[in-house]
Chain A
Amino acid sequence: MDSQEDYGKYQGLQGDPQIAAMPLERDALRRFVQAIMDHDPLYFDETAADASKFGGLAAPPLYPVHAFRLPADTPDPLDVISKDPNADGTAGIMGVAFGLPPIEMPYRRLLNGGNEIEFYRSLRVGERTVAHPKYVDVTLKEGKSGRMLLVTIETRFSTEAGEPLLLNRQTLIWR
């Protein structure tokens, strides 16, 4: 199977909402902003954050996309590497599909084709992210280096209370 018709069933397919395993914690926020090397005091200075438009410590705007971690009671993804020295380590990555059913395809190599993101509000410490994913486009194309499958996933991120955080439209290129 590898025709445009085969991929039609994925067009518009919505996944179940995915709730982050943990609410945003101060220490996770500290590690995160250190990793992105953003020393904005609004991420760690409570007095400054309280007086800001965020009304308290809040994450960087794009944090919700990376708010998803494996729950503690799930299998250790590093076991895969222990058992198979050729494993690439991507097992267990919550990734970009946010629980959408994988697309059946013959392609194995994945490239990120780019993102379009719209921001509404930042996630506050103590809040939990919810992702609402959808396949919006699945198109087979002939490129210079052969056939490829372009997959666009649109994921709305909100708080558990349903307040919109951001909208991320990501295009993945499978070859």
Chain B
Amino acid sequence: MTIYYDNVEPGQQLASLSKGPITPAHIMRWSAAVENWHRIHYDQTFAKEHDKLPDILINGSWKQHVLVQLMKDGLGPAGWLWKIQFRYKRMDVAWDTLIGRAEVIEKREADGLGFVACRVALMNQRDEVSTAGIAIGVLPLRGGRKVPYPFVPKADYPAFAVAAD
């Protein structure tokens, strides 16, 4: 379904998703897929006794993809995720459930396209925000041109002066 810029307003939740509980098996599957053998992600004894962590950790690299998926799905197939920036604020551990949210905070038109800035966050079942940032998506205007693909940004495309939490 096409999401048009005209139908998106500041304050609106663009997208949400939930993943979990993320078990040690899920974490191990990610580590295997990207061949990351860092033991804090699959060896509980090592994570706790050697690195003094509360449990094996959900990879930050995995959480990046969840934030990108959140925005990709929220913008729909006609949109494009142009930019995303985020910071890791706290650890997520095995058996946590992660909830992603993207909320529109500002919108602007330029070059016949619609640009939407969103506040993005991942939080766990304890309502702790573990990863937070800002994303800028591009949407078509109703009756306007398609969002070009590949997306080649121009110098005068909007730079939203918004700070991440």
Q: Which residues of A contact B (CB under 8 A)?
A: 31-32, 34-38, 40, 42, 52-54, 60-62, 65-66, 69-70, 77-78, 81, 86-93, 111-121, 163-164
Whether the pair B77, A52 counts as a contact (CB closer than 8 A) is: yes
Interface size class of B (residues with CB under 8 A): 35 or more
Known contacts A34-B29, A121-B151: A116-B85 contact under CB 8 Å: yes
Whether the pair A92, B88 counts as a contact (CB closer than 8 A) is: no
B36 an interface residue at 8 Å Cβ cutoff?
yes
- 1/0 contact trace for B82-102 toward A, CB 8 Å? 111111100000000000000
Whether the pair B82, A119 counts as a contact (CB closer than 8 A) is: yes
B49 to chain A, nearest CB (A): 10
Q: In the assembled complex, which residues on chain B have CB atoms less than 8 Å from the CB atom of A92? A: 37
Complex CA gap A36/B72 in Å reads 13
Q: Which 6 A-B pairs have the closest CB atoms?
A: A121-B150, A114-B87, A35-B33, A89-B37, A116-B85, A89-B39
Whether the pair A115, B149 counts as a contact (CB closer than 8 A) is: no
Q: In the assembled complex, which residues on chain A have CB atoms less than 8 Å from the CB atom of B161? A: none
Q: Which residues of B contact A (CB under 8 A)?
A: 19, 26, 29-30, 32-40, 43, 46, 50-51, 60-62, 64-66, 68-69, 72-73, 77, 80-88, 133, 149-153
Whether the pair A119, B35 counts as a contact (CB closer than 8 A) is: no
Whether the pair B38, A89 counts as a contact (CB closer than 8 A) is: yes
Q: In the assembled complex, which residues on chain B have CB atoms less than 8 Å from the CB atom of A91? A: 37
Complex CA gap A16/B80 in Å reads 30
Complex CA gap A36/B30 in Å reads 7
Choice from B39, B62, B133 contacting A35 with Cβ under 8 Å: B62
A-B contact pairs, 8 of them (CB 8 A): A36-B69, A52-B77, A61-B72, A81-B37, A81-B39, A88-B38, A93-B38, A117-B83
Whether the pair B86, A114 counts as a contact (CB closer than 8 A) is: yes
Whether the pair A88, B39 counts as a contact (CB closer than 8 A) is: yes
Whether the pair A60, B69 counts as a contact (CB closer than 8 A) is: yes
Complex CA gap A66/B64 in Å reads 11
Whether the pair A116, B33 counts as a contact (CB closer than 8 A) is: no
Whether the pair B83, A118 counts as a contact (CB closer than 8 A) is: yes
Choice from B33, B80, B88 contacting A32 with Cβ under 8 Å: B33
Minimum CB distance partner of A96 in chain B: B61
Q: A66-B61, A164-B150 given. 4 additional CB < 8 A pairs?
A: A32-B34, A35-B26, A38-B69, A121-B149
Minimum CB distance partner of B146 in chain A: A53
A118 to chain B, nearest CB (A): 5
Choice from B43, B81, B87 contacting A61 with Cβ under 8 Å: B81
Complex CA gap A32/B83 in Å reads 22
Q: In the assembled complex, which residues on chain B have CB atoms less than 8 Å from the CB atom of A31? A: 32-33
Whether the pair A62, B64 counts as a contact (CB closer than 8 A) is: yes
Whether the pair B87, A69 counts as a contact (CB closer than 8 A) is: no
Complex CA gap A132/B35 in Å reads 21
Whether the pair B68, A113 counts as a contact (CB closer than 8 A) is: no
Minimum CB distance partner of A109 in chain B: B51
A55 to chain B, nearest CB (A): 9
Whether the pair A114, B66 counts as a contact (CB closer than 8 A) is: no
Whether the pair B37, A115 counts as a contact (CB closer than 8 A) is: no
Q: In the assembled complex, which residues on chain B have CB atoms less than 8 Å from the CB atom of A53? A: 77, 149
